[in-house]
Amino acid sequence: LTAGNKIFHFGPCRVSISMTEIRSGFTAIKDNIQARDPIRTLSILSYPHSLHKVKSSDRCCVTHHLFNFYMDKVFKHCKTEDSYINRKISSIANSFLSVKRKLEQCHEQNKCMCGQESTEKFKQILVNYEGLNVTSAAIKSLGELDILLDWM
């Protein structure tokens, strides 16, 4: 594995992800984005249970759900007045799109099966998300991206 790419093994599903590019994009905006999130007592990804509680057999499905979640419900609601931040969000979002496609292929080849637990976990994340207004929920979710990256 280079400092650039990392091969993720989700059971039979193998996905090469440019982790360094995603992390450097996020590191560049993390403080700014987290400063825009006034609600420190809530978590979208980790409430009530941490992602680390997800069974390994469910990891692929949860990862697939989460990449779709960020594409469909997070990045688009995080536009800021800061062009530099917007460029970094675009960078992360385009990298996510590239990974989402690979996870989709695994899903279509039945290599990324969803169990009851992963479905429940993802439902909880959506409940947490919908408990806030869209922009706050999106900004909080983006600010928690390192939780997802660390868990992966």
Partner 1 sequence: DALLPAPQNITILSTNMKHFLTWSPVIIQGETVRYSVEFQGEYEREYANESWIPICECSLITATVCNITEDISATVAYNLRVRANVGARRSEWGALKGFFNRITTSLTPPLMKVIADGYHLLVELEDMGPAFQFCVLYWKKGQESRMQQKVVKEVSSVVHLDTMEAGPDYCVKAQTYVEAINRSSSFSQTQCVRAQGGTSMWLV
**Interatomic CA distance for residues 152 and 148, integer angstroms:** 6
Cβ proximity to partner 1: between 32 and 119 the closer is 32
Q: Is 16 helix (H, G, I), strand (E, B) or coil?
A: strand
- Residue 67's closest CA among 46, 45, 97, 30? 97
Cβ proximity to partner 1: between 100 and 107 the closer is 100
Dihedral class, residue 119 (left if φ above 0, else alpha if ψ from -120 to 50, else beta): alpha
Two structure tokens written together for 10: 């989700």
Residue 32 touches partner 1, criterion: CB under 8 A? no
Binding mask 50-79 for partner 1 (x = CB under 8 A): ---------------------xx--xx---
Q: Shortest Cβ distance from residue 97 to partner 1 (Å)?
A: 5
Two structure tokens written together for 30: 């993390």
Which of 2, 56, 110, 116 forms a contact with partner 1 (CB under 8 A)? 2
Q: Which residues bind partner 1 (CB under 8 A)?
A: 1-5, 16, 18, 20-21, 25, 71-72, 75-76, 83-84, 86-87, 90-91, 93-98
